[in-house]
Structure 1
């Protein structure tokens, strides 16, 4: 039992007293019961047995305590690949490891409000004392709904109630405010077709015709090296639009970091609020942000534009960008780690696709974090689930089954897993507050791609 948590009470046993019918009393008082009385007694005994059997069977609406299995309602507001993973992998594993519990997976979807309405219901139930109808939110911002923190809606997560929190790496912890559980991550990488790059080098006479691997000096490891590589291999690199794809957005963000002395802290929510407040940006403020913080990034991106695929034919979607690599039209692209690892595992990328994580400062990523309402139907079970998700077994599943990054240290995972993903392993996951994005999108279209029509 987790400390500080009171288990859900079980229902007391109920004694049922059935009145004895007169004919049964009469028949019991007879020394020589007749055949008719015997049949009557048998019928009544059968009826009593059926009543008792019915009392032992679960009925619709019966609570978890009555059936001696506690049902934990888990709401999934992510894409279907995540809800499928929960249904097909996490639920069977958790149910088997914890026989007294059963996960009930409800997929609310990533659109249409997702888990928002469910959190609103839990907030209202906190005020009225009603049943919240929820135990666990697979992903949700503990700062929502408005007033949730002040009202005490979300359970504080500590190493006392979730012991495996001790194994969560620092970059994942930084994304949490202490009332959520970061448990899976993703980060933008560079993916390149090593076979195509090797052939280009052979055609240019930069390696021997018998070479079987790309020499390391032709694989960029830092942002400046990447900028040089792009123009050393014109037409072989592309990144998508920043406002329509996460990969494009984080590539542009990485350029901003480079222009600001590799200091992601400059672009936190707090830094934004201190300079520009909480209201909608004015045209003057957008111009100031672009001039003060983003100008250096626009210089870098303008410098490489003539070297990009089709002179800067920025794809509007991640699938369109990936297709250029698959169809052998480019050598290198940007891609999210989970999409990359899943696609490669399914054979959807070129066989010789390899991944790069920059050494000087990796590109932006983030962690999906779960929340638990303090008025959960089974708070103890929900905390048990949170702890289970941070176990080495489930963190290995994050990597192998959905291509995500673990929230715990790679050193806690099997050594062969570390070898398989050695090219993308990092404990550094810089963040960029969404508060800055509107000005960034505006600046990119204004200063880098003025001829691209915004969708």
Structure 2
């Protein structure tokens, strides 16, 4: 009888231990990570994510990648969270969806809440990217950086160098004289469109460039005038570059990476040129890694390690890529000489030596705060692009 009782107890302990071991094994199983890119960021970071998967097969079994329009993502995530679902583990975003997500309380707070997973990360950033990281308000990590724009890109077969506008007023005059030849994309889903929208208050000497509602009287008046000679506003920058490359349009606003990369890819002819406004202020741009609320704990531990991995010099050097977000790296001390050989070739062939001088000569500023940016996008959509956005 005693032996039977002992046997049953041993069996119970073994069963409990077995359950515990199964639970531990399940927790330790590699996870699948679903990444959604609303910024074209995968061109810069996918190689880094794949390097992480190759280095840590015990942590990551599979990574799926999806692209989505930035304006639609916050609503989708909000609906998922309301339904108690977690289909998206990591979002790669520009300042657009970052701002919308902060406003709607969609993102997990990383800093300072999870600072132990990212030791010294804020000290790694170069000075200008460090200022951009503040835009995330701790809800994301800036993974790439660009001084951005706004710049003008033009077809030299249609626009003589001497006729390239040097001020917004000259651009308006050129646009009226050449209707339907100038376009730009909806700012809420376009890096160049955002740089243009946020750069205008500096060019037009508005009362408060950081207040789109009460401080941009000159900008909104100008954009409404410009609207008269703009045929329509594409939903993204790729469509703009396609029309520019095909010769349908002659001029658009751009930024460093959107100048270099489409020419490197052959979407835009290599001989197309850029100009800058005489009184320009660089409106910096950055892209961020953010984690939606509701991601399971077993995935969070892996994601924290992945984000920290992406901030290391080897992965940062990969972000030179094909010049898409030139220069790319957000941390200090990562030069183009550390980039993959192909990236070095692209920058040498399609980069512009004048960029270094322009960046050094002209002031640079951070974009609008999250709240102000959402308001600026809404006002542009309502007052400028309402009837012409496609």
- What is the TM-score of this pair, normalised by structure 1? 0.56
2:178 pairs with 1:235: yes
- 1:162 and 1:349, CA in 2 relative to 1: closer, same or farther beyond 3 A? farther
**Corresponding residue for 2:381?**
441
Counterpart of 2:30 in structure 1 is 71
Measured at CA, do residues 299 and 240 of structure 1 come closer, stay the same or move farther in structure 2, by a change above 3 Å? same
Q: Which residue of 2 aligns with 1:368?
A: 288
- TM-fit CA distance, 1:227: 3.4
**Quick check: 2:150–2:253 contact (8 Å CA) kept in 1?**
yes
Of 210, 213, 232, which aligns to 1:314?
A: 232
2:143 aligned partner: 183
Matched, 1:430 2:367: yes
Closer, same or farther: CA 293–231 of 1 in aligned 2, 3 Å:
same
- Rounded to whole Å, the distance in 2 between the matches of 1:153 and 1:391 is 17
Relative to structure 1, is the Cα distance of residues 162 and 437 closer, same or farther in structure 2, using a 3 angstrom cutoff? same
- For the pair shown, the structure with the greater C-alpha radius of gyration is 1
Once the two structures are superposed, residues 14-57 of structure 1 have per-residue CA deviations (whole angstroms, 9 ceiling, x without a partner) of xxx9xxxxxxxxxxxxxxxxxxxxxxxxxxxxxxxxxxxxx9xx
Q: Give the C-alpha shift of residue 336 in structure 1.
A: 5.9
The Cα offsets for residues 94-138 of structure 1, whole Å up to 9 and x where unpaired, read as 1344465336324465357555466567xx69xxxxxx7986554
Q: Which of 199, 208, 219 does residue 297 from structure 1 map onto? A: 219
Q: CA deviation at 1:343?
A: 2.0
Equivalent in 153, 161, 171 of residue 192 of structure 1: 153
Q: Deviations over 1:241-272 (max 9, x none)?
A: 647863446534433444454843334xxxxx
Query: What's the counterpart of residue 27 of structure 1?
Result: none
Secondary structure of 1:399 counterpart: coil
TM-score, normalised by the number of residues in structure 2: 0.63
SS in structure 2 of the partner of residue 439 of structure 1: helix
Hey, what's the Cα distance between the residues in 2 that align with 1:394 and 1:346? 22
8 Å CA contact 2:153–2:251 kept in 1: the answer is: yes
Report the RMSD for the aligned CA atoms in angstroms.
4.8
Equivalent runs, 1:216-231 vs 2, <5 Å: 225-228=167-170, 231=173
Q: Quote how far apart the aligned CAs of 1:352 are.
A: 0.8
Deviation readout 1:172-223 (Å, 9 max, x if unpaired): 21211123212135645435346426xx54xxxxxxxxxxxx5xx7766xxx
* Residue 413 of structure 1 pairs with residue 335 of structure 2: yes
Alignment: residue pair count: 335
Structure 1 unmatched runs, 5+: 1-16, 18-54, 126-131, 202-213, 268-288, 447-451
1:365-413 Cα deviation digits (max 9, x unpaired) = 4533323869621555433211221223323333315813535157522
In 2: Cα distance, 1:414 partner to 1:119 partner = 41
Shift of 1:434: 0.9
Matching of residue 389 in structure 1 with residue 310 in structure 2: yes
Matched, 1:349 2:308: no
Q: Give the corresponding residue for 1:205.
A: none
Whole-angstrom CA distance in 1 between matches of 2:246 and 2:54? 44
* Separation in structure 2 between the aligned mates of residue 147 and residue 89 of structure 1, nearest angstrom: 27
